[in-house]
Amino acid sequence: MINFFLTLIGLCIIIPIDFVYLNLNSKFYTNILDPNEKINIIYAVATWLLIIISIQIIILSRQDLTVSNSFYNGAFLGLAMYGVYNLTSASIYPSKWNNQIILGDTLWGMGITGFMTWLLFNIEKSNNIFN
């Protein structure tokens, strides 16, 4: 089930974290980014929204989820989402998407999705307004 307030909280957390990550690692992506292009914020927010909704539907709805396995379940979801994205991008743009980008971005996706799952799980369980 999708919880509106949990979604808003998730967006308010993931957006600044991802912006900091992208700004700190901008050189990591220089060979795949066109310097004349600007980030389309609508698509970016839609992507973050899909991540938060996927966490809620696929993981937080599980009855057997615990604090100790919430991060790992989220990290696996991140592996699937970011891995599919990066491997598909590498197959379409083989001269731009190298192994360093595939590995680095997929690891980032695992970490941020695992962290967000753990955090949202703890917020949901500790706050009665979400239950």
pLDDT for res 105: 95
Tell me which residue range forms the domain holding 90.
4-130
Q: Which two tokens stand for residue 101?
A: 């980008």
C-beta separation of 113 from 75 below 8 A: yes
pLDDT tens track for 22-32: 888 888 887 78
Half-sphere exposure of 47 (CA within 13 A, CB side): 15
What residues in the chain have per-residue pLDDT under 50? Answer: none
Q: How many structural domains does the chain have? A: 1
